[in-house]
Amino acid sequence: MNKKQIIALAGVLAALVAGCGGGSESTGSAAGSRFASMMSMGAAARPAAPARWANVKIGGGGYVPGLIFHPTSPDVLYARTDMGGAYRWDAANAAWVPITDGFGAAESFYHGSETMALDPNDDNRVYMSTGMYLSDKADARLYISTDRGDNWTYVNLPFSAASNAQGRAVGERLMVDPNNPAILFYATRTTGLWKSADRGQTWQQLTSLSSHKMTNAEIDTAQWRGVVGMEQVIFDTNTKGTGNATQTIYTAVGPDYAAVAGLAYSMYKTTDGGATWTGITTPVTGYYIPHMVRAKDGMMYVAFTQGTGPGASGSARLYKFDGSTWTLLKSYDSSSPGTGYGMGGLSVSGTGATTRIALGVTNSWGNYEGQPIVQLSDNAGTTWREISALAPHFGEQTMWGGWPDDVEIDPNNPERILHVNGGGVWETRNASAAEPTWNFIVKGLEETATLALMASPPGANYQLLNSSGDMGMVVHTELYKAPTRGPKNWFSNSNSSDMAWANPAYIATIGTTTWDHPNVAGAYSTDSGLTWTAFSANHPDGMAHQGGDSTLAVTKPGHIVWAPSDSVPAYTTNSGASWTYTNLPAVEPGTSYRLAADRKNPNRVYAYQGGGGWWRSAPLFYYSTDGGHTFTVSSQFSTLGPRPEFISNTSLAVNANAEGDVWLADSHSIFHSLDGGATWTKLSVTGSIWGDHPTWSWPVVYGATSIALGKAPAGASYSASVYVVGVINGVWGVHRSDDGGATWRRFNDDKHQYGGIGNLAADQTVPGRLFMSGGGRGILFSY
């Protein structure tokens, strides 16, 4: 038996012991001794089975800018998100099915969809444009599926896209010609209107309308670089599949692009397939057109609003347009910019005087009498009634107004109306009722941005602490039920949470303040998250430095070490009544400390200062033996060549079963200490993928960004299973070791990459159970 065969057999036996895991393996220097110990177990070899994954239920949690129905095939419906991938509706199970979970770390920038389009003649064909943020580069992609999103190919687009910028509900920007589906039009944000004649494989700018491509300087003038630009494309036809290109097409342009491109109108029309364009005089100017729709009788319905959205402010107008005459249907006026109601979603069903119109009224916060959220007309806009504000709503969320930026009437069932908001999708199936019933349809749709995770110790009456963006901190007691514990609405973001390991009823968390809790930057619970008390005093820098790099560590009840971003950590021994700075050195802006408490000895606390960026000074590791009051630097750690990086790309974890057993991922490599952080070993197992990036900068894919330790399988040679997100043997993913890092195997597979994997936490009770955050995909766990 040669060395490769021995290593392979060792991996198979390790997988047998673990009980779950993935495919590829690599080995460290201790492969021979680990192999011998596994052979002595006498277990029969079997192939490793891929881990299975499910979402820890939250229920929505993120913004869905667009819903896309197929025009003729019932229940063919998609949802696009701004940074959490895309979903397909599963009518049989009344659930959303994620269709971009195969996107890996190198595709994290493409895990938000700016626009989607369906082929009216082929309900299996889906187009999805991706790219989260604008630039003046050609950095967008078009993903193409011929099996409803089960599999994708992509082409690089000759322009930029911005799924997570202002105006991201505008559109849809991408449309398929119903008569000749090889033709696609794309209304871009910064480079005008584009056309493809070969199903999206190649693209040409329609210079007949505009040839202007915005510069970075021009893009910078927009709020958060959120240029809206060209807004939508409408094919003016009732036919499909004729084989001849549709000749009459409408498009809209926002005032931001119009101003720099020299376009004098808000709407344009072509009657020769895009060869020439004629401006249409609109009844208002200087407004954005978030949506315009065409009824089957050819009538155009056009919403105008002054804000870009999400939740655009007014003033706002809704008109219908018959090709020559504009008729005002609804209006909202604001007293000053940024206030008042705007208009977002717009959908129509039927024709003539009985056309049903559903209109989303934006910036409409609160549910009370007279509040417009979804306005409905059944007589082409002559009269209106509110169908959402005070109607019965069922689901995890208690807010349904504010951001109804897309509203869709089911083209096959006008009683079914859906609208989006900042937390998911609402649906009614009895829109004609005096009080329609609404349900929050988010089963399978998990779109939270997880900032930190912490698994509970054995014996706790909860399973997981979840610190997330926008929703704050929650305590998960059951994995398949939405959480109910936590300091609800106390924090906009929760940056870090921890518990006292020997007394897990004591939990502490820190986060960003909200308008109704303006002085609360941290809180604690003594009853496992049922009730909460705000720190009576904050870290001296806690209010001024609330950034996402902030961390905390709990050593025992009442004893907390808090490291705000860019700040020297401080400790409390009285649950936040007072704080005292540690002796850790000050850091320059953009540099923060990552903290962890030892689980066997509450006097041991660890602090990693990661450098703050690849161009900065080398990282430093510190350890404390007095509960985090004073720290000592590890001089030996620095000799191993850790690389400076943003602290958010690093990870620090402890083995809960052994005092002083510490693991670190510095973005590129794994480091291990067995003496409380005084001395370290660097594992030669991970390697960043640099591609065309110089090795003194940042890689295309980082080699080791998150690490966690959990319950080891029976008979394992090391007291914990170690999991790392990184690149081993050239393959990015989650990798697992049950022998202290000597051998590794991939734990996920190519179908379960979630647009990049962020934070890890490993279960301390169930071997092989790992919690991890996806790229805007909430929290996943293996089972």
Amino acid code (one letter) for 510 = I
Q: Tell whether the model's pLDDT for residue 333 goes beyond 90.
A: yes
How far CA 731 is from CA of 24, 101, 705, in Å, comes to 8, 17, 14
Q: What would the pLDDT profile of 235-258 be if each residue is shown by its tens digit? A: 999 999 999 999 999 999 999 999
CA distance 155 to 171: 21
CB atoms within 10 A of CB 272: 12
Q: What would the pLDDT profile of 596-629 be if each residue is shown by its tens digit? A: 999 999 999 999 999 999 999 999 999 999 999 9
Q: What would the pLDDT profile of 274-300 be if each residue is shown by its tens digit? A: 999 999 999 999 999 999 999 999 999
Amino acid code (one letter) for 675 = D
Output the six-digit token pair for 730. Answer: 């050239």
Q: What would the pLDDT profile of 734-781 be if each residue is shown by its tens digit? A: 999 999 999 999 999 999 999 999 999 999 999 999 999 999 999 999
* Model confidence band, residue 396 (pLDDT cutoffs 50, 70, 90): confident
Residue-wise burial string across 341-379, b where 16 or more C-beta atoms lie within 10 A, e elsewhere: bbbbbbbbbbeeeebbbbbbbbbbeebeeebbbbbbbbe
CA distance 85 to 371: 32
Range with the poorest average pLDDT among 219-233, 304-318, 434-448: 219-233
Output the six-digit token pair for 300. Answer: 């155009």
Round the average pLDDT of the chain to a whole number and report it: 93
Q: Which residues pair with 321 in a beta bridge?
A: 300, 326
Q: What would the pLDDT profile of 128-182 be if each residue is shown by its tens digit? A: 999 999 999 999 999 999 999 999 999 999 999 999 999 999 989 999 999 999 9
CA distance 623 to 553: 13
Q: Tell me what pLDDT residue 629 has.
A: 98
Q: Tell me what pLDDT residue 368 has.
A: 83
Count the helix, strand and coil residues of the chain and give each as a percent rounded to the nearest 5: 10, 35, 55
Q: Tell whether the model's pLDDT for residue 9 goes beyond 80.
A: no
Q: Tell me what pLDDT residue 13 has.
A: 31
Q: Tell me what pLDDT residue 48 has.
A: 56
CA distance 67 to 613: 38
Q: In this structure, are residues 771 and 455 in contact, taking their beta carbons and an 8 Å threshold?
A: yes
Q: What would the pLDDT profile of 360-387 be if each residue is shown by its tens digit? A: 999 998 878 889 999 999 999 999 999 9
The average pLDDT across 388-394 equals 95
Q: Tell whether the model's pLDDT for residue 543 goes beyond 80.
A: yes
* Model confidence band, residue 49 (pLDDT cutoffs 50, 70, 90): low
Q: What are phi and psi of 191, to 5 degrees?
A: -130, 25
Q: What would the pLDDT profile of 462-472 be if each residue is shown by its tens digit? A: 999 999 999 99
What percent of the chain has a predicted confidence (pLDDT) above 90?
Answer: 90
Q: Tell me what pLDDT residue 50 has.
A: 67
pTM for this structure? 0.92
* Model confidence band, residue 29 (pLDDT cutoffs 50, 70, 90): very low
Question: Which of 598, 602, 637 lies closest to 619, judged by CA?
Answer: 637
CA distance 635 to 129: 49
Q: Tell me what pLDDT residue 4 has.
A: 32
Q: Tell whether the model's pLDDT for residue 40 goes beyond 70.
A: no
Amino acid code (one letter) for 585 = P
Output the six-digit token pair for 767. Answer: 């071997």
Q: Tell me what pLDDT residue 370 has.
A: 84
Q: How many residues does the chain have?
A: 783
Q: In this structure, are residues 87 and 444 in contact, taking their beta carbons and an 8 Å threshold?
A: yes
CA quadruple 52, 56, 62, 65: dihedral, nearest 10: 30
* Model confidence band, residue 2 (pLDDT cutoffs 50, 70, 90): very low
Q: Tell me what pLDDT residue 224 has.
A: 82
Q: Tell whether the model's pLDDT for residue 493 goes beyond 70.
A: yes
Q: What are phi and psi of 460, to 5 degrees?
A: -70, 155
